[in-house]
Amino acid sequence: MGVLDGVRVLDYGRFIAAPWCAALLADMGADVVRVEKREGGEDRWVQSVTDSGEGGTFLQCNRNKRSLTLDTSTAEGQEVSRRLVERADIVVANMPAAGMRANGLDYETLRAIKPDIILASATAFGEGGPYSERIGFDGAGQVMSGAVSRQGLPEQPIRTMVPYADFGTALTLTIGVMMALYHRERTGQGQHVEGALLPTAMMLSNAFLIERDLLGVDKPRMGNQGASVAPCDLYRTSDDDWVLLQVAGQPMFKRWCRLVGRPDLFDDPRFADDDARWKHGDELNAIMAAWCAERTKADALAELEAAKLPAAPMLSTQEVLDDPHVQAMGYLQRVPFPGTAKDVPIIETPFRMSATPGEIRTRPPLLGEHTDAVLAEIGYGAAEVTGLRDRGIV
């Protein structure tokens, strides 16, 4: 039994922020209905990996959901949506405020239908400012947060390929939804929970903004080197692979000095603390690079582990799939899906609870797979559903 059994969620989300929030709610037992266009949401077809065209991120973000197709631009479609809201606890959506209003998904409209509804909305920039009506994907949050200006190569800023602003917004939105459910349980009142890409990205890079504001400095872009400590980098090994090491604090630095045979660095004033070591990081990173160049990845990692230094191998995507720890922990669960060469490795619920764990119970839905069942639950008879389908409403 999931902790959210009996909670009903309408997922009008697209791409990552809203759908991943809804997926986490579904993992915990909520009944989540994904409402999408008759031709499928745009996010369904990105990075296609199935015979019918579903993409990898779609498969991750839509497990445990049911699919209803609906044209909400029509009066009949809006009536279906109204009936869905009447029996829902949470509505999840991501679009600018104007789009929310046009689709009848703004909080005032939803609250008029169901006073204790919880609306969870994800936008690019948040509501109430000069950018609120702009659209934007994960990259907008990254580049406008100040983070990208600090990362990459000296001559080339590089945004992170992993969409951390999107997934981070999904996580903060999920936290907000759970707080809103707790508040509603105590007071009977619903509310609007808002998440946005820009403040999420700013949260993750807030230390850079604090450093700039208080000290008036921006550290240069330094590739894979540390932003505040040294030695810290990705180092090439003798078998042409890569190892990450991050050294912070005096005890760890002393252990590293002994490991690389340089105890003379203990009392060098250039390396007196983390800030000083960062300023002179080129010398420390050069020592570590030379040390790794004489060892295979396996040997380097074994010696670093024995010295109790925080190191890790750089893994390829295949190496992640094959990793014994990943397999033993069950982080990736194999889920069958029509039209794939083999079962799909989908990440489990990204937190574990001892009494009420999340669970991948069902595969992601095919387009409109549950339309008839969902409409029947809100009072539509078989003939009415046929009529809606004939008129292009579902």
d(CA 330, CA 355): 18
Q: Is 296 helix (H, G, I), strand (E, B) or coil?
A: coil
- List the beta bridge partners of residue 347: 332
d(CA 200, CA 150): 17
Read off the tokens for 371.
Answer: 């339309």
Closest CA to 18 of 167, 132, 161, 164: 167
Peptide bond into 231 cis (omega under 30): yes
d(CA 384, CA 389): 9
Q: Is 271 helix (H, G, I), strand (E, B) or coil?
A: helix
d(CA 152, CA 77): 47
Q: Is 166 annotated as catalytic?
A: yes
Q: How many CB atoms lie within 10 A of CB 266?
A: 13
d(CA 308, CA 68): 52
Q: Is 121 helix (H, G, I), strand (E, B) or coil?
A: strand
Closest CA to 63 of 4, 28, 23, 34: 23
d(CA 270, CA 272): 6
Active-site residue among 11, 71, 166, 241?
166
d(CA 74, CA 15): 24
φ/ψ (deg, to 5) at 234: -95, 130
Q: Is 394 helix (H, G, I), strand (E, B) or coil?
A: coil
Strands 242-246 and 311-313: antiparallel
H or E element in which residue 10 lies: strand 8-12
Closest CA to 120 of 174, 68, 64: 174
Q: Is 57 helix (H, G, I), strand (E, B) or coil?
A: helix
Q: Which residues are catalytic?
A: 166
